[in-house]
Structure 1
């Protein structure tokens, strides 16, 4: 029997507070809620637009699909006393990114999926998109690994509109007028080609691409636009920016070198004629 991870009374209070706030500042439109299984472990894989979308994703899942949202939350967030208490009481999973504890967090997520029958939300991109047009970026392979290890379905979810509520990098939300927030959930991603295969880098990469392709297609449907042929790669973009910065510094460093002030000839005199 699945374990109840959440405190029911905390769940009741938090859900009503969040619902009240979001109904005040957003106009939600939800499609595809029937694609989220009514019970049993399920991975909800969503794109990431804004620091506000954990609230809107949770709203979509809890009210629209009737499933309690479970997130993996950054350890820094979990250090805030009130947030920590609420997060623990609502079954959220802390994670220290870039550390050995990240593996432990994935183990906790696996337990939530397979033993507790939870619906666990992941952002495969790992951070808010930096694509100039806000399309989903390339993703990390943690979601694919977890899906192939546990065998639970991955439901792709795309959303659009939170960037108008609070754009990434901004600290000032635009609360009024109410913002249109659109959601679309698709059927579980077809990962059958990768099941029962060794979890090689190639298998995980291809499975991750399949997950992100479904999310991107759903967002394209919401936006009525054509996504880019290749997703934005944040790692490569940062590498290009670093190389460009080094290239800009190179001429300045060259100008400051002593040899540019004149060189000495064989007779010991300066070649400038001095």
Structure 2
């Protein structure tokens, strides 16, 4: 299939690499000229040259069989207007809950949402695939057959809303604390005081989102922390680099959803405001 991946960051490049390995024709669409990593390191440590084709020609999105948007959530305001004329499936692979932002611009008949569980990062000229995982996508069912052709890289998921909520809660439990304390993920499990804070935060979120009670246990949370113990969360890396974080797309939507259910999330709200206090983004008052 002819696939365009929008975004030359770690997730976009990994998706491109995995799809190319399955024989798909992939072009990575970037905003500004830059040299992508030339090496790829697999989860087992083997290293190989990166392939792929990079372009800045946005006209190619209309003719692609599938478009995958792998930018940061806060870059969607630049990307969405460029996709208005597209009449074909568009897969969004952002951290957080972005549905409201996307629906304001695009026809929902063409929109799909996905969750990426791979561990991936970029160091200098190497794409580091730190942990093997899955990519699950769902949404407009008229595109299910096309998405299924992307297996084993991307799988169709019937209940993508639950999967996305689950990931947003996991990110909320891990990212803000690691960013504010400037620690790797594993510290949330090995430091007993922080561990107790995570447990209290988990209880708060599960009470508000009871549909996750079976889908996300406390054991699941600490198993993920264990598997990603040496990883630095994306929010921590953003703050270290003085970049905008994705708090507006991860924490804030959960606060709004809870408010709609007449639930209050004091721990989540506290962490949200502390992240905003870092000065990398303007404060957005909750309605």
Task: Normalising by structure 1, report the TM-score.
Answer: 0.35
Task: Normalising by structure 2, report the TM-score.
Answer: 0.33
Q: Which has the larger radius of gyration?
A: 1
